[in-house]
Amino acid sequence: MARPRNNSKIQIPPRVKGFNPQGYYANPSNEVNLNIEEFEVIRLLDYENLSQLEASKIMEISRPSLTRIYDRARKKIAKALIEASPIRIEGGKIVYDETWYECLTCRSHFNKPGDDELKRCSLCSSSDILKVEEA
């Protein structure tokens, strides 16, 4: 019997919740779901150019687990590009590195060190903010 998977540590929540193809009617039933942990692996390996070993240490998962997540993410992104499918970014077994907030007015993400609850957006001063919850 396989042991239960550990939560992946995420440094920064995704800025967007997904992507839609341009110039083509995208059928919502063909939507590709990219987990937040898959998004984070793509960010660390392809955007930040970290090695798999460095990324696995940051996410606090094994290197083989990171490789499997990366393989799944690449296949999902390739499928979405080839089939002109929308991508939704959500879910996964994750825990955030710090407490993150999202402003519902300007849609920005930000964090605040310490245990104090944040009351206003640091960019637009709106009080309409939510704590970004772990999945």
- pLDDT attached to residue 117: 63
Cβ-based neighbour number of residue 40 at 10 Å = 25
Any idea which residue has 């960010």 for tokens? 43
* Residue 134, pLDDT above cutoff 50: no
In whole numbers, what is the pLDDT of the chain averaged over residues? 85
- pLDDT attached to residue 4: 67
pLDDT tens digits, residue range 38-91? Answer: 999 999 999 999 999 999 999 999 999 999 999 999 999 999 999 999 999 998
**CB contact set of 14 (below 8 Å; sequence gap of 6+):** 36, 39, 89
Q: d(Cα 65, Cα 89) in Å, to the nearest integer?
A: 19
Q: d(Cα 108, Cα 12) in Å, to the nearest integer?
A: 12
Q: Do the beta carbons of residue 121 and residue 104 sit within 8 Å?
A: no
Q: What is the pTM of this model?
A: 0.76
